[in-house]
Amino acid sequence: MACKRGALIVLEGVDRAGKTTQCKKLLEALQRSGRPAEMMRFPDRTTTIGKLISAYLENKSDLEDHTVHLLFSANRWEMVPLMKKKLEQGTTLVVDRYAFSGVAFTSAKPGFCLDWCKSPDVGLPQPDLVMFLQLSPSEAALRGQFGEERYEKSDFQRAVQNKFQQLMKDRSVHWQVINASQSVEDVHKDIMTHSLNAINLAQNQALAELWK
Ligand code: Z5A
């Protein structure tokens, strides 16, 4: 490796757990401390595939369930060359949702198993750290009503939470559960500590492939 690589850091969690708030704070803190860092989010709604996904989430179009699952995965794969380039250049990537959301949301639908849902994402860049922002449904409710998008319903979100719990049993992924019911600042402190450790460790490790 010509230079020390950046770390791939993912934030996952249920609706309103604070993922976007914390990704932005982590990005700012890393940049302030002089560490090269950029943020990405999935779905990335700016691409052609992302626009199809966005219309589906906004209930402006209907897509068959397998089809939309594969589109979410394709939306990650289309970013892989850029992700690898940035990581190799030493830039840490802070990512708002990744393949774990893909699997948790689709496998919460009737007729889908975890293994089928994981298969299109096998081989994606393996995150160095996945922080799961844990928040109970009652605490999430205090943060406002659900929006208008397709998956924003409490029964479905509970099923998604169960699927995340199943995914977190997999020791091949470096999971860290974060108590997201703390104040924004306290959550940030926890996230910063774990992220700095991951950045230090990643520097001397090759990037692995997810679920391989
Ligand atoms: N999806 C999928 O099906 N398959 C896939 O492969 C992928 C995704 C990648 C994308 O939504 C949808 O696509 C998502 C999963 C599915 N569906 N759902 N539901 P999105 O990415 O566009 O939006 P989101 O991820 O659903 O956002 P969110 O979960 O609603 O929010 P968040 O990012 O976790 O939280 P936030 O926006 O940072 O904060 C929410 C509110 O809480 C806000 O008012 C904050 O000011 C407040 N907040 C944040 N932190 C705190 C603390 N600590 N205390 C008090 N209040 C707080």
Within-domain flag for 1: no
Q: Which domain holds residue 46?
A: 8-210
Instruction: Compute the average pLDDT of residues 8-31.
Output: 97
Residue 155 lies in a domain: yes
Q: pLDDT at position 2, please?
A: 59
Handedness of CA 71, 74, 76, 82 (dihedral sign): negative
pLDDT at 191: 99
Short-list 129, 143, 127, CA closest to 180: 143
Residue 159: per-residue pLDDT: 95
In ligand 1, the atom with minimum distance to the C-alpha of 181 is 53
Q: Is 54 in the pocket of ligand 1 (CB under 6 A)?
A: no
Tell how far the Cα of 1 is from the centroid of ligand 1, in angstroms.
35
Would the pLDDT of 147 be above 90?
no
Residue 66 lies in a domain: yes
Q: Is the pLDDT of residue 93 over 90?
A: yes
Structural domain contains residue 3: no
Instruction: Give the CATH number, domain containing residue 149.
Output: 3.40.50.300
Tokens at residue 79, please?
Answer: 């970013």
Whether residue 2 is contained in a domain is answered as no
Closest Cα to atom 26 of ligand 1: 15
- In angstroms, what is the span from residue 2 Cα to ligand 1's centroid? 37
Question: Which candidate, 23, 4, 5, places its Cα nearest to that of 178?
Answer: 23
Average pLDDT over residues 136-143: 87
- Does a structural domain hold residue 119? yes
Q: How sure is the predictor about 156, in pLDDT bands with cuts at 50, 70 and 90?
A: very high
* 10 in Cβ contact with 98 (< 8 Å): yes
Q: Report the number of distinct structural domains present in the chain.
A: 1
- CA 75 distance to own-chain centroid: 13
Would 65 be classed as within a structural domain? yes
116-126 pLDDT tens trace:
999 999 999 99
* pLDDT of 175 above 60: yes
